[in-house]
Structure 1
Amino acid sequence: MNNLIRATAADREQLFIALYKSAFPSVARYISKMGGSFDEAKDVFQDALVIYYEKAAVGTFSIKTNEKAYLLGISKHLWLRKFKDNVLHSPIDGIDLAAVADEEDYSENKLMHYLATAGKKCMDLLRSFYYDRVPLGDAATLFGFSGVRSATVQKYKCLEKVRETIKQKSLTYEDFLI
C-alpha cells in the first residue's frame, strides 16, 4: 500500500483496473441483492476506491485479508449507510399497503403449507415451541414424550422433514418472499 503512493500514475491506474476487475462484480452482486441498481453499485464502488486510496496515502491502516475483501467491506458499509439514509427520508404516500399485506399473506401461506407437510403432530410441536414459546420440558409432558431429550430429538426430526421437502422441491429463501 505504501507502494501505491510511490507508484507512477500508470502503475496506480493498472492497480485500480485490477481492483475494479476483481472486486467490482462482488460489490455489484451485493448491491443488486439489496435492491440497488448497477449505477448505484458503480458509485458506491468508486467511493470505496477513493477511501482505500486515501487511507493508503495516509498510511493509517493495514489490510488483514486482501484488497478485494477490504473493498467489498467498505462498499457494504457505504451501501448500508446510504440505504438507511434513503429509508429514513423516503415518503410513504405511494406505498400500496394492501399489496404489501397480500405479499406477506402469500409467503406466510406458502411457508405454512410446507410446515404442514411434516404432519399435524410436528406442526403442533413446532408451533408450541417457536410460536407459543413453550419450554421443551413442558412440551415433552404436553406431547407425551419421555423427557426433554426426546422432545428435542422429535423437534429436530420435524424440522428435518420440512427441510427435506423444501430440498426436494429445490426451493430457496427467495421463493418464500414472493
Structure 2
Amino acid sequence: MISKHNREAMLTELYKSAFPAVAKYISKMGGSFDDAKDIFQDALVIYYEKAIAGDAAVANKRAYLVGIAKHLWLKKFNAAILSTSLNDLPVDIIQTVDEQVSANKVLQYLQTAGKRCMDLLSAFYYDKLPMKDVAGLFGYSGERSVTVQKYKCLEKVRETVKQQSLSYADFIE
C-alpha cells in the first residue's frame, strides 16, 4: 500500500510533468484552459483508480496519463460535434473567431514586429490597399518588394507567437 505522503508526491509530480502537455494539446484542438483543467483532473482520477487496482503498471506514467487525457478530450470533442446542429452554428465564422480572439493580445504580437510593419500590414489588411498603392505609400520599388516585406513582417509576428505560446506562466492563474 502506498503511504498518503507518497501518493501526494506522486500525484503532484504527475501534475507538474503531464499537465503542460495536456494543456498544449487541448489548446491546439480548440479547447480552453478550463477544458484542459477539467480533462486533466478526470484523467488523473482514472489513472489513480487504475494504479490502486494494480492495472497501471506502465513504464512511463506521464505518457500514460497524457494518453488518457487525449482520449477523454477526443471523446468530449467528438460528442460535442455530434450533438451540434448545423442550425446552431454561427453564420459568420470569421465574426465568431474575432470575438474569441483577444484584440489586445493580437495587437501586442503585431507591435513586436515594429511600427513600420504594423503600418504596412494595416494598409494591406485593414485599409485593403492594392500592393501598387502600398509600394508607393511606403517608398518601395515595386509590388514584389512590398510582398517580400509583408512576408517578413508576418514571419516576425509568427516567431513571436511561437516563442510565447504556452509558456509556464500560461498555466498559472
The normalised TM-score by structure 1 is 0.50
- CA deviation after TM superposition for structure 1 residue 57, in Å: 1.2
* Distance (whole Å) between structure 2 residues aligned to residue 47 and residue 10 of structure 1: 21
Aligned twin of 1:78: 72
* Distance (whole Å) between structure 2 residues aligned to residue 84 and residue 76 of structure 1: 12
2:89 to 74, 89, 95: 95
* Distance (whole Å) between structure 2 residues aligned to residue 15 and residue 44 of structure 1: 19
* Distance (whole Å) between structure 2 residues aligned to residue 36 and residue 99 of structure 1: 17
What RMSD over aligned residues (CA atoms) do the two structures have, in Å?
A: 2.7
Aligned twin of 2:29: 34
Larger Rg: 1
Aligned residue pairs total: 103
8 A contact 2:39–2:73 mirrored in 1: yes
Aligned twin of 1:104: none
Deviations 1:111-156 (A, max 9, x none): xxxxxxxxxxxxxxxxxxxxxxxxxxxxxxxxxxxxxxxxxxxxxx
Partner amino acid for 1:22? S
SS state at 1:49 partner: helix
* Distance (whole Å) between structure 2 residues aligned to residue 69 and residue 30 of structure 1: 13
* Distance (whole Å) between structure 1 residues aligned to residue 55 and residue 66 of structure 2: 19
SS state at 1:93 partner: helix
Matched, 1:7 2:27: no
* Distance (whole Å) between structure 2 residues aligned to residue 62 and residue 7 of structure 1: 14
